[in-house]
Chains A and B, each alone.
Chain A
Amino acid sequence: MTTTTAAAPRRSALGVAGGVLKARETGIVIALVAVVIAATAVNPTFIFSGDGFRDLLLTPSLLMVVALGQAVVIITRNVDLSVGSVVGLTAYMTGRLFIDVPGIHPALVFLAGIALGALLGLINGALVAFAKVPALVITLGTMYIYRGINVAWTGSDRINASDMPASFRGLGTQDVLGIPLLTLLAVIVLVFTAWYLRNLRSGRELYAIGSDPDAAHLYGLRVTRRVLAAFIVCGALAGLAGVLFAARYGTVSSNAGYGWELQAIGAAVIGGVAMSGGVGTVWGAAFGAYLLLTINRALPIIGIQDFWQRAVVGILIIGAIILDRVLALRQHRRLVAAREEVK
């Protein structure tokens, strides 16, 4: 009975639900544009200078790669706090490879970085998926372990730009049609990840697992394998970001990537990826990363000291989860009201 009578308004309910999802990504983009305009109005060099425009595109692209992986893990109702440490470890390894293996091809270094990241992600995933321990605790532990290994390996040493070949360093400085090469690379990864999550069975299953793990089990989905894969992807992307870090900044000390886990989680949550799983897109996480770092860059320009950057991250995270909650409550109330009408 309800089905037939309520078919028409449901179309619009879908429109609203779909609209809300899209509105999140659109909303972030609008906020991003607003920040850029405000900062440019105060100081035109924010965008109207060679470096300004480059920085706008370039600075957030590394975080974006990490946030993509983080989003994949959060979609499965898990979290990975170790990504910052993975970035640091792979960034240092990148430098070491160039020093210890003279003449190594940069492509091999990329592969090595991604492989190390994937391995570290595999360790996280295996502990979470097989030992059935919350990801929070496992990755809190591995965050310190990976960072500790990094510090022990690096010591007071640091990698300098001169340690790496110009061809590799060029990745961090070259442009294609006015767009930084690194940004292009990050966008390619974004498009591929988004395509994967949307179009492949295994991608959709990640959403299903995050939406309701028990139902996923009843459906016969291979939950353990998928969660493991999500952590491997997250680690591999953090590994990639570590290699890019070395190319972009040239110098790598033992605190490279420090605190990135918080920014990556922040970017994903701000972009509409719910900590409770099953909701959100990597597009949102990518825009979240851009919004976060662009605000950070804009703060000094509009007269706020950049010490406040971290507080802004906190406010954005809390604002985003409150917003999600309010929207969910409102939708729930609307559905109850709709059912009441039918009765």
Chain B
Amino acid sequence: MTDTVTDPATPALELSRVVKSFGAVVALRSGSLRLDKGSIHALIGENGAGKSTLVKIVAGLYRRDAGEFRLDGEPVDFHSTAQSKAAGIAVIYQEPTLFPDLSVTENIFMGRQPVGTLGRIDRKAMRDEATQIFERLGVRIDPERLTEGLSIADQQIIEIAKAISLDARVLIMDEPTAALSGVEVERLFAVARSLRDEGRALVFISHRFDEVFELCDTVTVMRDGSYIDTMPIADTSVDELVHLMVGRDVTEMFPKLPADIGEDVLVVDGLTQKGVFHDISFTVRSGEIVGLAGLVGAGRSEVVRAIYGVDPYQSGSVTVSGKALPKGNPKAAMARGIALVPEDRRKQGQVLEQTVSRNLTLAIRHRLAKMGLIWGGVENESAKVWASRLEVKTSALDAETGTLSGGNQQKVVLAKWLATNPRVLIVDEPTRGIDVGTKAEVHRLISQLAQEGLAILTISSELPEVLGMADRVLVMRAGRLTGEFDRSEATPEAVMFAATAEEVA
């Protein structure tokens, strides 16, 4: 359904001052985007800048609260994903959404299969078209196999095949390269360029600047839920984009306090989880902040999950203050002084339907019990102490944490773990999706904790954050440690190289 009649100068898609909020949380303050036909448009911004919300509004998954949305100059308002699909918009999400129990072909055509007499699905036509699309994309995937067990890269190819079969005029890719290897990225880019040359409009969301500069024609920057600027890619530079994205000086964000670095506290040796990460060895000392850098999908979160015991591992060992830690046992890890502030605060860190008080005391529930019983106000007393230490803003201790802002939710999760009084603090993406002010507070807190003698391991996808805070930076790529840098040697270039460079076989 490519529209050939309309003026090519009319933007394929135009959003202006779009607003969206969830409960009390405003996810998008003022989102704007102008997309030309036959071009690839980069949409960049830090996590929580509102990119995904914007995409979901275009996809018809969310409805905007306010603002304008035009497609080919015509105002539109999607109530469902079916409507946006019918209008020629295809979205490829970070995590592909396929039906694992159905074949590749069925996944591509679900809901709009070619039909013959009696509405019977024409399986041969469907398979032929799938084969044709895969040939055009230059990939070999058996169209008859089940999608269960396909690699993320292949799943994304299926999503793209879906978009092509739809004849989508707008194709949005939300961090499609996050989990891909170099060759897979090249293949994807070749496909993207050929789609652009056919006159389609593409949106490419990525955190990798090299890719943005290689592939895209135009770039739009977002920050804190708002539109910041749009410019041709040829007229800008990485430095300028970073400045626009962050909107502040790096040093002011990361107050690094001097700390005495002591003996080894956490020692990880040869940790391996088959198919996920291999032979990971490192140490973290008391008073030290170690940053674990790498691209999304490099296996960083998986490593810390295995250390803490929520995931299993096949070989290797974890030692805390000289004593070996049993594997697969978070309770033992907690007892030995490890705390893990998980990556996804909404799904792993806290129960959104429970009160601030319950969440703050969940990890120390055994400690609060007297003779095995939790009586009266012990939870509220403890919660009061920790809420005030981290300055959590809440109407009352029995408010559900789901009603708090993202930054305050993150403080609840941090406080929940600090309450366990840990020796080793592992924080996975501690500032993802929270506002600038709270971010600075979290950085200051982590720095202070190191000064107090905690051993801290921090994972962050924001390079400036890692470089600003860490005494030492470890880099992972494709499940392996590929670099270790002291604070003085850790330049953005060196770390990015270790995180992205292809191995020379």
Report whether B111 and A207 are in contact in the complex, using a CB–CB cutoff of 8 Å.
no
Closest CB of chain A to B97's CB: distance in Å?
Answer: 4
Closest CB of chain B to A172's CB: distance in Å?
Answer: 32
Report whether B97 and A343 are in contact in the complex, using a CB–CB cutoff of 8 Å.
no
Contacts of B80 in A (CB 8 A): 220
Closest CB of chain B to A211's CB: distance in Å?
Answer: 4
Report whether B149 and A14 are in contact in the complex, using a CB–CB cutoff of 8 Å.
no
How far is B183's CA from A340's CA once the two chains are assembled, in angstroms?
18
How far is B82's CA from A216's CA once the two chains are assembled, in angstroms?
11
How far is B142's CA from A11's CA once the two chains are assembled, in angstroms?
7
Given A10-B142, A204-B121, are A220 and B97 also a contact pair (CB < 8 Å)? no
B102 CB contact (under 8 Å) in A13, A207, A222 = A207
How far is B140's CA from A325's CA once the two chains are assembled, in angstroms?
30
Given A1-B184, A208-B110, are A201 and B115 also a contact pair (CB < 8 Å)? yes
Report whether B140 and A278 are in contact in the complex, using a CB–CB cutoff of 8 Å.
no
Give the residues from 63 to 87 in chain B that come closer than 8 angstroms, CB to CB, to chain A: 80-85
B61 CB contact (under 8 Å) in A14, A215, A218 = A218
B275: CB under 8 A from chain A? Answer: yes
A7 CB contact (under 8 Å) in B141, B151, B184 = B141
A2: CB under 8 A from chain B? Answer: yes
Report whether A211 and B100 are in contact in the complex, using a CB–CB cutoff of 8 Å.
yes
A200: CB under 8 A from chain B? Answer: yes
Closest CB of chain B to A142's CB: distance in Å?
Answer: 28
A14 CB contact (under 8 Å) in B81, B99, B102, B145 = B145
What is the predominant secondary structure among interface residues of chain A facing chain B? helix
Give the residues from 259 to 281 in chain B that come closer than 8 angstroms, CB to CB, to chain A: 274-275
Closest CB of chain A to B276's CB: distance in Å?
Answer: 9
Contacts of B120 in A (CB 8 A): 199-200
A4: CB under 8 A from chain B? Answer: yes
Contacts of B140 in A (CB 8 A): 3-4, 7
From A11, A204, A338, A340, residue with most partner B Cβ within 10 Å: A204
Please encode chain A, from 202 to 238, with 1 for each CB lying within 8 Å of some chain B CB and 0 for all others: 0011011011101111111110000000000000000
From A14, A17, A218, residue with most partner B Cβ within 10 Å: A218
B332: CB under 8 A from chain A? Answer: no
Which residue of chain A has the shortest Cβ distance to B99 in the bound complex?
Answer: A211
B101: CB under 8 A from chain A? Answer: yes
B482: CB under 8 A from chain A? Answer: no
Given A7-B140, A14-B145, A204-B113, are A278 and B102 also a contact pair (CB < 8 Å)? yes
Report whether B142 and A14 are in contact in the complex, using a CB–CB cutoff of 8 Å.
yes
B146: CB under 8 A from chain A? Answer: yes
Report whether B110 and A219 are in contact in the complex, using a CB–CB cutoff of 8 Å.
yes
Given A1-B183, A220-B80, A336-B275, are A201 and B111 also a contact pair (CB < 8 Å)? yes
How far is B149's CA from A331's CA once the two chains are assembled, in angstroms?
9
Closest CB of chain B to A280's CB: distance in Å?
Answer: 9
How far is B184's CA from A215's CA once the two chains are assembled, in angstroms?
24
What is the predominant secondary structure among interface residues of chain B facing chain A? loop
The count of chain A contact residues (Cβ–Cβ below 8 Å) is: 39
Report whether A215 and B111 are in contact in the complex, using a CB–CB cutoff of 8 Å.
no
A194: CB under 8 A from chain B? Answer: no
Report whether B121 and A201 are in contact in the complex, using a CB–CB cutoff of 8 Å.
yes
How far is B150's CA from A10's CA once the two chains are assembled, in angstroms?
10
How far is B149's CA from A332's CA once the two chains are assembled, in angstroms?
8
Please encode chain A, from 16 to 59, with 1 for each CB lying within 8 Å of some chain B CB and 0 for all others: 01000000000000000000000000000000000000000000
Contacts of A222 in B (CB 8 A): 82
Contacts of A310 in B (CB 8 A): none
B364: CB under 8 A from chain A? Answer: no
Closest CB of chain B to A276's CB: distance in Å?
Answer: 9
Give the residues from 315 to 343 in chain A that come closer than 8 angstroms, CB to CB, to chain B: 331-332, 335-336, 338-340, 343
From A4, A201, A335, A340, residue with most partner B Cβ within 10 Å: A201
A99: CB under 8 A from chain B? Answer: no
Please encode chain B, from 90 to 133, with 1 for each CB lying within 8 Å of some chain A CB and 0 for all others: 00010001111110001000111101000111000000000000
Closest CB of chain B to A257's CB: distance in Å?
Answer: 31
Report whether A211 and B101 are in contact in the complex, using a CB–CB cutoff of 8 Å.
yes
B99 CB contact (under 8 Å) in A13, A199, A200, A208 = A208
Closest CB of chain B to A244's CB: distance in Å?
Answer: 27
Which residue of chain A has the shortest Cβ distance to B106 in the bound complex?
Answer: A204
Contacts of A216 in B (CB 8 A): 99
Report whether B157 and A3 are in contact in the complex, using a CB–CB cutoff of 8 Å.
yes
Given A201-B115, A208-B110, A335-B149, are A220 and B85 also a contact pair (CB < 8 Å)? yes
How far is B80's CA from A14's CA once the two chains are assembled, in angstroms?
34
Closest CB of chain A to B272's CB: distance in Å?
Answer: 11
Closest CB of chain B to A185's CB: distance in Å?
Answer: 22
B154: CB under 8 A from chain A? Answer: yes
How far is B478's CA from A17's CA once the two chains are assembled, in angstroms?
29
How far is B140's CA from A83's CA once the two chains are assembled, in angstroms?
46
A279: CB under 8 A from chain B? Answer: yes
Contacts of A7 in B (CB 8 A): 140-142
B153: CB under 8 A from chain A? Answer: yes
How far is B144's CA from A59's CA once the two chains are assembled, in angstroms?
38
Contacts of A279 in B (CB 8 A): 101
Contacts of A336 in B (CB 8 A): 274-275
Which residue of chain B has the shortest Cβ distance to A212 in the bound complex?
Answer: B99
Contacts of B83 in A (CB 8 A): 220
Contacts of B153 in A (CB 8 A): 1-3
Report whether B111 and A205 are in contact in the complex, using a CB–CB cutoff of 8 Å.
yes
Report whether B139 and A212 are in contact in the complex, using a CB–CB cutoff of 8 Å.
no
Contacts of B106 in A (CB 8 A): 204, 208
Contacts of B184 in A (CB 8 A): 1-2
How far is B142's CA from A17's CA once the two chains are assembled, in angstroms?
13
How far is B104's CA from A11's CA once the two chains are assembled, in angstroms?
13
From B93, B151, B154, residue with most partner A Cβ within 10 Å: B151
Report whether A205 and B110 are in contact in the complex, using a CB–CB cutoff of 8 Å.
yes
How far is B98's CA from A245's CA once the two chains are assembled, in angstroms?
42
How far is B121's CA from A193's CA once the two chains are assembled, in angstroms?
15
Query: Considering the complex of A and B, which 6 residue pairs feature the smallest CB-CB distances, nearest first?
Result: A220-B82, A278-B101, A335-B149, A220-B81, A211-B99, A215-B97
30 contacts between A and B (CB under 8 A): A1-B184, A2-B151, A2-B153, A3-B153, A3-B154, A7-B140, A7-B141, A13-B145, A13-B149, A14-B145, A199-B120, A200-B119, A200-B120, A201-B115, A201-B119, A204-B110, A205-B111, A208-B106, A211-B102, A215-B97, A219-B111, A220-B83, A220-B85, A220-B111, A221-B111, A222-B82, A278-B102, A335-B149, A336-B275, A339-B275
Residues of B in contact with A (beta carbons under 8 Å apart): 60-61, 80-85, 93, 97-102, 106, 110-113, 115, 119-121, 139-142, 144-146, 148-149, 151, 153-154, 157, 181, 183-184, 274-275, 478-479
